[in-house]
Amino acid sequence: MEIRNEEAPKKSLNFIEAMVEQDLKEGKNGGRIQTRFPPEPNGYLHIGHAKAICLDFGIARNYGGVCNLRFDDTNPVKEDVEYVDSIQEDIQWLGYQWKNVYYASDYFQQLWNLAVKLIKEGKAYVDEQSAETIAQQKGTPTIPGIESPFRNRPVEENLALFEKMNSGEVADGAMVLRAKIDMASSNMHFRDPIMYRVITKHPHHRTGEKWKAYPMYDYAHGQSDYFEGVTHSLCTLEFEVHRPLYDWFVSQFADSDYRPRQTEFNRLNLTYTVMSKRKMLQLVQEKLVKGWDDPRMPTICGLRRRGYTPEAIHNFIDKIGYTKYDGMNDIGLLEYSARETLNKTAQRVNAVINPVKLIITNYPEDKVEMMETENNPEDPNTGTRQIPFSRELYIEHEDFMEDAPKKYFRMTPGQEVRLKSAYIVKCTGCAKDADGNVTEVYCEYDSQTKSGMPESNRKVKGTLHWVSAAHALKAEVRLYDRLFSVENPSADDRDFRDLLNPDSLKVLTECYVEPSLASAKALEHFQFQRIGYFTVDPDTKEGKLIFNRTVSLKDSWAKEQKK
């Protein structure tokens, strides 16, 4: 173990890991490490959440700590149980298990009691002004705010009104509880932040009608961390300005030396996609995509259906790291991460997605040979399988050209190519319809060049994949591409819906795949040789195979052609 540590190049730590190691070294919090992943159950998790999940759960896992799942459900207007289930499913799919599931709503009584304590200490008051008035009085970052006329009302009055806020006697929006801090603070969050508001029109998804006054994030979050014993409260950069308030609230109530500490890291920004909840919801509601799990969506369920594996996502997250720099990550790196991961694990299969018939004119009409082929050349342990070969095959339309340019190594009259795992064939011509479209391609095979035979070592520039026409299974193939046609749709002045990539989905219904795929199961991963990585769509039914393209293979021929 020690030897290996010396030999392995020391992986550099990100600033949060470094902080955790330092805290551990100093024996802070008794050597305890506790994190939490705190989603609001108001939507589906996306790849940005995955970044946070990997950090929250990863820190706990790597440093002998625990990570809990806490639903931050302090606003019943937006939340729903529907999301609670999908969030749990996605976290587990990513390979993590929380120690406990908590809900901020479990702490409503404790939070209430602490709020009462604050009122009694003269540090909180009930404000009866309208939202607009309060906003106006808040001032601006450069102009100090003005104090509410209700700021100095007697404690007893505050207590009585606070009770009323929760009894149903107060209408939504009529009163709020505010912390009495500093209306002139340079930090806007200190200008008497709202701690409680009244919500009577939406029952809470867990507490029902019990509460009418609900705590706000800034008040509830830090306290929840404190109640649970969180040591490292990790969140994204936009909460940086909230940290002083987080600390202020905790310091009002802490009754021990222990303090949770908030640390912020950069959120994930990806090119060619949007991750705001509002925009994703719009895409779904306006049917610009087929649902939250549309394979073009950056949601975890979308990526899963697209064919991304948890390993591919971890691979990506490892590459982008955690810093305090708010940059833009290239979605190409996510795609590369998928290729790199799937290359090692995906079974190779033959699939022709744009078929044209190839007839081997000198091959016996009723002969069928079983050809042995590797399941994955990257992993010899996966062994081989047999695929049927016959006189009539399908090959890709792009693999034949009557008048081929230089460096075209595929099927063209007079040129030899290898049919993968089978024979070397020489193209002899083609047939065309009235419009000049190629309908059939002809070739002759060399019987001495079957894979494994000495003659087959002959150098041939091109190798083509194929399926036997009589044996192949028909399949639908959905080719997915980037959802948007511009790098950063969020920074564009135009409506983001006008920036959608019109070619983000192409459905091919006349595809042929090798017979072994008859038993393919939903979400199984394959490499269609020379084409890309594909997964079986869950819509697949008996007799109707559907494949989703996760990502294409790198195509250096396409690149060559562009020159």
Partner RNA sequence: UGUCUUAUGGUGUAAUGGUAGCACUACAGAUUCUGGAUCUGUCUGUCUAGGUUCGAAUCCUAGUAAGACAACCA
- One-letter amino acid at 348 equals R
Residue placing its CB nearer to RNA in the complex, 140 or 256 = 140
Q: What gap in Å lies between CA 393 and CA 468, rounded to an integer?
A: 4
Residue placing its CB nearer to RNA in the complex, 28 or 294 = 28
Binding to RNA by residue 237, rule CB under 7 A? Answer: yes
Binding to RNA by residue 535, rule CB under 7 A? Answer: no
Stretch of residues binding RNA (CB under 7 A), selected from 180-188, 386-394, 439-447, 511-519? 180-188
Q: Which of residues 300-339 bind RNA (CB under 7 A)?
A: 319-330, 332-333, 336, 339
Selected catalytic residue, list 32, 123, 259, 277: 277
- Here the tokens at position 331 are 């979605």
Q: What gap in Å lies between CA 235 and CA 4, rounded to an integer?
A: 34
Q: Which of residues 411-430 bind RNA (CB under 7 A)?
A: 418, 420-422
Binding to RNA by residue 48, rule CB under 7 A? Answer: no
CB distance 215 to 111 below 8 Å: yes
Query: How would DSSP label each residue in 237-298?
Result: GGGGGGHHHHHHHHHHH--SS---EEEEEPPP-BTT----HHHHHHHHHTTSSSSTT-TTS-
Based on the residue annotation, tell me whether 123 is a catalytic residue of this protein: no
Binding to RNA by residue 46, rule CB under 7 A? Answer: no
CB distance 134 to 125 below 8 Å: no
Residue placing its CB nearer to RNA in the complex, 459 or 541 = 459
Q: What gap in Å lies between CA 304 and CA 309, rounded to an integer?
A: 6
Binding to RNA by residue 198, rule CB under 7 A? Answer: yes
How many CB atoms within 10 Å of residue 367?
Answer: 10
In DSSP terms, 177 is beta-bridged to: 126, 196
Residue placing its CB nearer to RNA in the complex, 392 or 446 = 446
Binding to RNA by residue 24, rule CB under 7 A? Answer: no
* CB-based contacts of 233, cutoff 8 Å, min separation 6: 35, 36, 221, 222, 225, 246, 260, 261, 262, 263
Selected catalytic residue, list 267, 279, 290, 385: 267
Stretch of residues binding RNA (CB under 7 A), selected from 68-76, 106-114, 153-161, 281-289? 68-76
Residue placing its CB nearer to RNA in the complex, 129 or 252 = 129
Binding to RNA by residue 186, rule CB under 7 A? Answer: yes
Residue placing its CB nearer to RNA in the complex, 173 or 539 = 173
Binding to RNA by residue 462, rule CB under 7 A? Answer: yes
- One-letter amino acid at 298 equals P
Based on the residue annotation, tell me whether 306 is a catalytic residue of this protein: no
Residue placing its CB nearer to RNA in the complex, 329 or 535 = 329
Binding to RNA by residue 75, rule CB under 7 A? Answer: yes
Residue 499 gets the label, from left (phi > 0), alpha (psi -120 to 50) or beta, of alpha
Q: Is 30 exposed, middle or buried (0-12, 13-18, 19+ CB in 10 A)?
A: exposed
Q: Which of residues 372-391 bind RNA (CB under 7 A)?
A: 376-378
CB distance 150 to 125 below 8 Å: yes
Pick the binder of RNA from 118, 176, 545, 546 (CB under 7 A): 176
Q: Which of residues 251-290 bind RNA (CB under 7 A)?
A: 266
Closest distance of CB 304 from RNA, Å: 22
Pick the binder of RNA from 527, 535, 540, 548 (CB under 7 A): 527
Print the binding letters for residues 467-506 with RNA: x by CB under 7 A, - otherwise: ----------------------------------------
Binding to RNA by residue 142, rule CB under 7 A? Answer: yes
Residue placing its CB nearer to RNA in the complex, 187 or 362 = 187
> How far lies 62's CA from each of 17, 33, 55, 65, 430, in Å?
9, 10, 10, 8, 62
CB distance 481 to 451 below 8 Å: no
Closest distance of CB 20 from RNA, Å: 12
Closest distance of CB 11 from RNA, Å: 9
Binding to RNA by residue 451, rule CB under 7 A? Answer: yes
Based on the residue annotation, tell me whether 402 is a catalytic residue of this protein: no
Stretch of residues binding RNA (CB under 7 A), selected from 114-122, 253-261, 283-291, 553-561? 553-561
Closest distance of CB 298 from RNA, Å: 16
Q: Is 419 exposed, middle or buried (0-12, 13-18, 19+ CB in 10 A)?
A: buried
Q: How many residues bind RNA (CB under 7 A)?
A: 94
Closest CA relative to residue 215, chosen from 286, 318, 110, 100 = 110
Closest CA relative to residue 501, chosen from 306, 296, 335, 305 = 296
Q: What gap in Å lies between CA 392 and CA 371, rounded to an integer?
A: 15
CB distance 225 to 123 below 8 Å: no
Q: Which of residues 105-134 bind RNA (CB under 7 A)?
A: 129-131, 134
Pick the binder of RNA from 27, 141, 436, 543 (CB under 7 A): 141
Pick the binder of RNA from 135, 368, 370, 431 (CB under 7 A): 135
Helix (H, G, I), strand (E, B) or coil at 77: coil
Closest distance of CB 291 from RNA, Å: 23
Q: What gap in Å lies between CA 481 and CA 351, rounded to an integer?
A: 19
Pick the binder of RNA from 89, 409, 488, 501 (CB under 7 A): 409
Dihedral of alpha carbons 237, 240, 243, 245, sign: negative
- Here the tokens at position 136 are 């106006």
Pick the binder of RNA from 64, 149, 154, 452 (CB under 7 A): 452
Report, as residue numbers or ranges, the catalytic residues: 40, 267, 277
